[in-house]
Amino acid sequence: MTDDSTERSDARAFREATTGTNVELPYAGIKTFMKADIRDIEDVSGVDAAVLGAPFDGTVSNRPGARYGPHGIRVASSWLAYLSGYKGGLTNMYSGDQVDYSSLSLADCGDVPVFPTDATKTADSIEAHVATLAEQTFPVFLGGDHHCTYPAFRGFARGADLDSVGLVQIDAHTDTTARSDLFGEEYHGSVTHHIANSEFSSYEHISQVGIRGYEAPDFFDFAEDVGLSVFSTADVHERGVRAVLDDAIDAAATETDAVYVTFDIDSVDPSVAPGTGTPEPGGLSAHQALTVMQRLGDVNEVRMVDLMEVAPHYDPADNTQQLAAYLLAAFLERRF
């Protein structure tokens, strides 16, 4: 029997003598986002961005399963890291950009502690952990149901020491319900309401892109009264996604200290991304969604991004989680 030092030496000798051992296949290794190094949440001040997950879906109103979203996105992202490592960098044939993910200093801090039957305690956990990240670097947050965005938003504002934060929300639903008789005040359909009524924002600083489906009869009157900027998928198709997004960015960035981006995967049409809890027909195309994230990555005012509501079990082909990983990669390529 050899001791530990000899075993490590044998492994090192094999790696040094064998071609290809520096390339990790996408389905091998520990599943971190884009094969990033695992780092303690209090030790990320030297990285470009740090990833944090929240495997929680205790406040959904339709189909559960977003608790598996962070894992699914991490698994799908491994393909991009493998390609970049294998080829020594990449040409993004969609955008024309030259990218090399090995030059992106990225850390994965794992998942926050969640409490499946206690949304309040889970929210406290999310807020505390995001605040710790935001004190040090750019947070990338993986959900989880969309209610998780509210405590993440609060944690970001506190950790980054910001007085006013705008929100760009890419979503099929407005999430402006103040209270549900069935679900109470804390559920995924109330996240925007809570953000708008927090000390860090207001409806005048919130813009929404991709809205469709059905809302209350007086919704447009409500939106006009409170100053909420709403851009439906009909607006996107008629005016073009770039023009709509520029207006959305202006609304969120004006007179705020920073912008938080939340991307609900149900903003994308379910024919493209069926793996979500509340799918709505008539959504964004994959092309439009990628364009959105590329454009947002160019906006210096954006200082945190999340991607929510991926429920992999409703998509046996894994297309939803793959798109989610590509969307975050598109953002990070432009941002860094």
- Enumerate domains of the chain plus CATH numbers: 31-335 (3.40.800.10)
pLDDT of residue 5: 52
pLDDT grade for 52, boundaries at 50, 70 and 90: very high
pLDDT of residue 181: 81
Residue 175 annotated as binding site: yes
Q: Mean of the per-residue pLDDT values for the chain? A: 94
Instruction: Report, as an integer, the average pLDDT of 151-168.
Output: 98
**Predicted confidence (pLDDT) at residue 152 exceeds the cutoff of 90:** yes
| Closest C-alpha among 46, 248, 42, 60 to residue 132 | 42
Cα 116 to Cα 65: distance, rounded to the nearest angstrom: 12
pLDDT digits (tens, 9 = 90+) for 202-251: 999 999 999 998 988 999 999 999 999 999 999 999 999 999 999 999 99
CB count in 10 Å sphere of residue 63: 15
Signed CA dihedral, 53, 191, 252, 135: sign only: negative
Q: What is the DSSP letter of 185?
A: S
pLDDT of residue 3: 53
pLDDT digits (tens, 9 = 90+) for 174-187: 999 888 787 878 87
pLDDT of residue 101: 86
Sequence-distant (≥ 6) Cβ neighbours of residue 48 within 8 angstroms: 104, 105, 106, 137, 138, 336
292: helix, strand or coil: helix
Residue 188 annotated as binding site: no
pLDDT digits (tens, 9 = 90+) for 72-86: 999 999 999 888 887
**Predicted confidence (pLDDT) at residue 257 exceeds the cutoff of 70:** yes
Q: Which two tokens stand for residue 154?
A: 């609060």
Q: Where are the alpha helices (DSSP H) in the chain?
A: 4-17, 69-87, 119-134, 149-159, 191-196, 219-226, 233-239, 241-253, 286-297, 319-335
Instruction: Report, as an integer, the average pLDDT of 282-289.
Output: 97
Residue 194 annotated as binding site: no
Q: Which two tokens stand for residue 131?
A: 């605040």
pLDDT of residue 1: 46
pLDDT of residue 117: 92
pLDDT of residue 6: 53
233: helix, strand or coil: helix
Q: What is the CA radius of gyration of the chain?
A: 20
Inter-residue contact 212 to 232 (CB < 8 Å): yes
Residue 108 annotated as binding site: no
pLDDT grade for 312, boundaries at 50, 70 and 90: very high
Instruction: Report, as an integer, the average pLDDT of 57-75.
Output: 95
DSSP per-residue letters across 298-328? T-TTEEEEEEE-B-GGG-TT-HHHHHHHHHH
| Residue with the larger pLDDT of the pair 55 and 84 | 55
Residue 71 annotated as binding site: no
**Predicted confidence (pLDDT) at residue 91 exceeds the cutoff of 70:** yes
Instruction: Report, as an integer, the average pLDDT of 106-114.
Output: 97
**What share of the chain in percent tops pLDDT 90?**
81
Q: Give 217's Cβ-side CA count (13 Å radius).
A: 0
Cα 228 to Cα 205: distance, rounded to the nearest angstrom: 7
**What share of the chain in percent tops pLDDT 70?**
98
Sequence-distant (≥ 6) Cβ neighbours of residue 5 within 8 angstroms: none
pLDDT grade for 7, boundaries at 50, 70 and 90: low
Sequence-distant (≥ 6) Cβ neighbours of residue 207 within 8 angstroms: 166, 167, 168, 169, 228, 229, 230, 231, 247, 248, 249, 251, 252
Q: Which two tokens stand for residue 164?
A: 């006013």
Residue 37 annotated as binding site: no
pLDDT of residue 111: 97
Cα 57 to Cα 51: distance, rounded to the nearest angstrom: 19
Burial (CB count within 10 angstroms: exposed 0-12, middle 13-18, buried 19+), residue 300: exposed
